[in-house]
């Protein structure tokens, strides 16, 4: 009788040990990370696609801020806190307001200009940051000369200009050929800019076939910094405007 009871105890003990071993083998690692065979493995559950929420499209100091006719800056008299004079060729004296940009744009701009020089083109900063007050002076002068309807095609009203963000600038070529003119896009310099700007985080903000979307005439000289991630994504998807990429209203009306 004792032998039978001892045998039964041993069977139960062995079965329990096997059950415990089985549970441990099936349990996740002590680090809390799924194992390679787990259905929730990062390789199987990681989200794919571009993160459009990485930066704000409404905060004025965001590199992805979208400013257009129906979307003014908030506050409307916004002034960037990190304006500097970049170490690149300048059209005007360094003391001029327009020769400033935001600090984080400087190195990408220097890299773009250096690459252009290596390719045989000499670029310079034509116009960068513009304050609310200065943009008002420009806009009012265009209205006085050509009327408001014409002025609205080529000039932003104060508070609606990308130049006020410190992230946009007008690029010029050394010989000043096609200065602020659409023909810049047909020059070797303009074509090089259009083909290579995205590599350094810039886009041509107002393209020829998207006037109805951006609300502005074609400006091959107007570059906008958005960072290399977004610029490369736009290039990869062949999307020309921030409005289309982020599904944000634009157009010609304020």
C-alpha–C-alpha distance, residues 229 and 246, integer Å? 14
Hunting for tokens 């970049």 — which residue is that? 86
Pairing of strands 101-102, 123-127: unpaired
- Residue 176 has a pLDDT of 76
Half-sphere exposure of 135 (CA within 13 A, CB side): 23
Q: Catalytic site residue 219?
A: yes
* Given the residues 162, 172, 219, 240, the one annotated as active site: 219
95, 73 contact by CB (below 8 A)? no
C-alpha–C-alpha distance, residues 254 and 72, integer Å? 9
| Residues 152, 157, 161: CA angle, nearest 5 degrees | 110
Q: Please write the tens of the pLDDT for every residue from 23-61.
A: 333 333 333 333 333 333 333 323 449 999 999 999 999
Q: Please write the tens of the pLDDT for every residue from 144-189.
A: 999 999 999 999 999 999 999 999 999 999 777 898 999 999 999 9
Residues 6+ apart with CB under 8 A from 56: 62, 64, 65
DSSP state of 45: H
240, 209 contact by CB (below 8 A)? yes
């Amino acid at each position: 009788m004792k032998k039978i009871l001892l045998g039964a105890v041993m069977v139960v003990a062995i079965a329990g040990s096997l059950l415990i071993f089985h549970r441990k083998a099936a349990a996740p690692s002590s680090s809390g990370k799924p194992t390679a065979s787990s259905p929730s493995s990062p390789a199987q559950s990681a989200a794919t696609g571009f993160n459009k929420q990485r930066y704000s499209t409404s905060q004025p100091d965001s590199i992805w801020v979208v400013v257009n006719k129906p979307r003014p800056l908030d506050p409307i008299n916004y002034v960037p806190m990190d304006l500097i004079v970049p170490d690149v060729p300048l059209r005007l004296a360094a003391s001029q307001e327009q020769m400033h940009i935001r600090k984080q744009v400087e190195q990408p701009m220097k890299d773009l200009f250096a690459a252009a020089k290596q390719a045989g083109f000499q670029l310079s900063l034509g116009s960068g940051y513009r304050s609310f007050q200065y943009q008002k002076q420009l806009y009012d002068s265009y209205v006085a000369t050509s009327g408001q309807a014409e002025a609205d095609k080529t000039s932003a009203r104060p508070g609606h200009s990308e130049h006020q963000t410190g992230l946009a600038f007008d690029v010029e070529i050394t010989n000043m050929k096609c200065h602020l003119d659409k023909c810049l896009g047909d020059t070797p310099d303009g074509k090089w800019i259009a083909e290579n700007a995205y590599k350094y985080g810039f886009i041509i903000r107002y393209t020829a076939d998207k006037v109805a979307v951006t609300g502005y005439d074609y400006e091959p000289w107007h570059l906008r910094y958005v960072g290399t991630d977004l610029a490369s994504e736009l290039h990869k998807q062949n999307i020309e405007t921030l409005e289309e990429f982020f599904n944000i209203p634009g157009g010609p009306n304020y």
